[in-house]
Amino acid sequence: MLTVKEVAAIPLFSTLPSAELERLSRTSADIQLAAGEFAVPEGGVGALFVVLAGKIEVVKTFDGIERRLGWRLPGTILGEVPITLGTPFPGGYRAAEPSRVMRMEVQHYYAIAAVSKEVAQKVNALALERLGGLQALTAEPQKPRVTLKGPRWDAACSDLRRFLARNQISFDWITPDAPEAAALLDASQRAAADGPLARLADGTIIESPDLRDLANRLGLQTTPRSAEYDVAIVGGGPAGLAAAVYGTSEGLSTIVVEWEAPGGQAGTSSRIENYLSFPSGISGDELSSRALQRARRLGAEILVTRAVAGLDPGKHEVLLDGDEVIRARSLILATGVSWRRLAIEGLDRLIGKGVFYGAARSEANTIHGQDIHLVGAGNSAGQAALHLASHAQKVTLVVRGRNLADSMSHYLIEQLRLKSNIDVLHGAEIQSVHGEANLSAIDILDKASGEVHRHDCGGLFIFIGADAETEWLPADIARNERDYVLTGDDVTKAGRWSYPRDPYLLGTSAPGVFACGDVRLSPVKRVASAVGEGSMEIVFVHQYLAHGSAD
């Protein structure tokens, strides 16, 4: 506990009256930090800290890479910028050695500032100084970690752009005919290059890069580091990341396996307007990025570019591609769902060449000034239409029904109505697609008149629902006729439970194997519910690990 003498020894507070020193000693937190422990992470809530002992390093993440910005030694303060501007912490403050800090809440600081103009002036002056340093840092030209060269409609190049964007790797993309493309390679390399090319920040050039090789070169994790884990999570969407955050925060060794990038289907959402605590909305990739940073900071391992080839529920083993096995004491299925395919002849050959399922933010660069079409009437389609309307010349939403209100939230309908370059075609269906190297036009059927009209189309984005893809799961994991995983009472009702205790609420038909998020049979398919289930899952994992198999 802080003493009045200790508070009076802090230069910032040395001139305060004894009554205020006593109040600070009584209301401020006395925090002991182990080496490597954060006093406050980047993005943390504003407060004023004073270093009492030890050494605090200031770190900030730029483009996925952590940089040390400086140190705070005993007697110095931190948090002057957030407390002055009312913003989150622009950097993180981590103990470099066992340290002790004093933490003053915002309201207590303002109470002191009201009786001591000297304290307020010192904090404000320091905030201005720190802001100058931050401005200098942000003014430094930031080089992209990858420069990618490839044709606009090359499917492999599209996959690479999406992979880099969703893994929060900064990149520049140039087309082969761009003036700067010639400077990327020397003459011999230009002659030999057929597919996409990637140049890394260190000058390394990779022809037709493989995603896993590229991930390794960029420092992303692709192989497990331990022989066994407390919990292995298959799927890195909101449910899987929430389970990883809560699992690691409660002391469970945790690993997440994700094929492409953390975030799942929600990570491709251009805007989530109704998620709690974000009054201005948040993009799916930003939400995923925050969850990913939190999970990694707590110690979770996140594997990318790894496909799951199989599962052994009895041994709690996950078989990865390449015959690598992850062993764990419990398993969580959080694989989400995949976009339902539109059954139109010739459509599949144009995927990545003007036809897209979902609307990854990385594709916005490909449709500048184009007339594009979206198929679907749900919230995902509405959010994507609003986002893409800022890039495309015109956006047309193709809707089978006569009323968006049956499937789309009211706030989205109102926002669509206010956008001058968004049209909605009701009672319409895509009949056919046209184009050789890339999509160039589509035929749309007016169901009421039976007439078909051809429209130039610079991009077709499809949102017609999603299905669970769980055929790879063994028969031990009970599913319904649409392949959604059964949990809790649904397992019992299906006659797939024969153990002494009842199945856990989010437990599958195999003891020690759990399911959460969209892959689980449930009428609710929301980001918030997926996050909630992922966090709840750890409670059941703890119960299972404490009591053993199914007893």
Cα–Cα nearest to 531, from 253, 287, 166:
287
pLDDT class of 550 with cuts at 50, 70, 90: low
Among 442, 465, 488, the domain-final residue is 465
pLDDT at 135: 61
Do 210 and 283 share a domain, yes or no? no
Boundary (domain end) residue, out of 139, 170, 193: 139
Rounded-to-integer distance, Cα 331 and Cα 318, Å: 8
- Identify the weakest region by mean pLDDT among 293-302, 421-430, 513-522: 293-302
Pair 267, 357 in one domain: no
Q: HSE-up of 36 (CA within 13 Å, CB side)?
A: 3
Contacts of 497 (CB under 8 A, 6+ apart): 491, 503, 509
Average pLDDT of span 414-428: 94
On whether both 70 and 125 belong to a single domain, the answer is: yes
Among 10-19, 135-144, 483-492, the least confident range: 135-144
Query: Residue 507: inside a domain, yes or no?
Result: yes
CATH number at residue 197: 3.40.30.10
Looking at beta carbons, which pairs linking 12-17 to residues 24 or more positions away fall under 8 Å? 12/50, 12/77, 12/119, 12/122, 12/123, 13/112, 13/119, 15/116, 15/118, 16/112, 16/116, 16/119, 17/115
Identify the pLDDT of residue 146: 92
Based on the fold, state whether residues 301 and 354 are members of the same structural domain: no
Is residue 192 pLDDT above 70, yes or no? no
Rounded CA-CA distance 308/321 in Å is 6
Calculate the CA dihedral of residues 263, 265, 270, 275 and round it to 10 degrees.
-70
User: Closest by alpha carbon to 455, among 372, 378, 359?
Assistant: 372
Of 435 and 263, the structure prediction assigns the larger pLDDT to 435
**Is pLDDT at 364 greater than 90 in this prediction?**
no
Q: Assess whether 91 and 178 both reside in one domain.
A: no
**Domain that residue 395 falls in:** 348-465
**Mean pLDDT of all residues in 455-477:** 92
d(CA 396, CA 423): 5
> By percentage, how much of the chain surpasses pLDDT 90?
52
Q: Residue 222 pLDDT more than 70?
A: yes
Neighbours of 91 (CB within 10 A): 25
Please give the pLDDT value at position 188: 42
**What confidence tens digit (pLDDT) does each residue in 141-164 have?**
567 889 998 888 888 888 898 888
Q: For residue 320, list its beta bridge partners.
A: 308
H-only helix segments in 193-260? 211-217, 238-249
* Pair of tokens at residue 7: 């508070």
Judge if 472 and 330 occupy the same domain. Answer: yes
Among 362, 352, 236, residue whose Cα is nearest residue 304? 236
What pLDDT is attached to residue 139? 54
Q: Are residues 276 and 172 in the same domain?
A: no
Q: Which pLDDT score is estimated for 362?
A: 67
Q: Compute the average pLDDT of residues 90-105.
A: 92
When mean pLDDT is compared across 414-418, 445-449, 523-527, the lowest value belongs to 523-527
Percent of the chain at pLDDT > 70 equals 94
Q: In angstroms, what CA-CA distances link 539 with 147, 171, 447, 543?
A: 44, 40, 51, 6
Residue 223 within any structural domain of the chain: no
Task: Write the pLDDT tens digit of every residue in 106-133.
Answer: 888 888 888 888 888 888 888 888 777 6
Asked if residue 446 belongs to a domain, the reply is yes
Instruction: Tell me which of 83, 117, 139 is where a domain ends.
Output: 139
Does residue 203 sit within a domain? yes
Q: Are residues 60 and 173 in the same domain?
A: no
Domains identified in the chain, total number: 4
Q: Are both 361 and 501 inside the same structural domain?
A: no
H helices of 28-174, where? 80-85, 106-115, 117-139, 155-166
Is 490 within the bounds of a domain? yes
- Which CATH number do you get for residue 413? 3.50.50.60
Question: Of 222, 170, 160, 145, nearest to 197 (Cα)?
Answer: 160
User: Is residue 524 included in any domain, yes or no?
Assistant: yes
Q: Where are the alpha helices (DSSP H) in 366-481?
A: 379-388, 410-418
Helices (H), 145-274: 155-166, 187-192, 211-217, 238-249
pLDDT at 292: 86
**486 and 480 Cβ atoms separated by less than 8 Å:** yes
How much is the pLDDT for 358?
A: 83
| Residue 369 shares a structural domain with residue 308 | no
Selection from 358, 354, 406, 405 nearest residue 385 by Cα: 358
Sheet holding 197-200, edge to edge: 171-174, 146-149, 197-200, 205-207
Q: Are residues 333 and 478 in the same domain?
A: yes
Residue 191 has a pLDDT of 44
Looking at residue 187, its pLDDT comes to 44
Tell me the average pLDDT of the chain: 88
Residue 342 lies in a domain: no
| Residue whose entry in the numeric block shows the structure tokens 């422990």 | 37
What integer is the mean pLDDT of 307-313? Answer: 93
Do 135 and 22 belong together in one domain? Answer: yes
Average pLDDT over residues 293-297: 86
Task: Tally Cβ neighbours within 10 Å of residue 551.
Answer: 8
Tell whether 343 is covered by a domain.
no
Question: Residue 190 pLDDT > 60, yes or no?
Answer: no
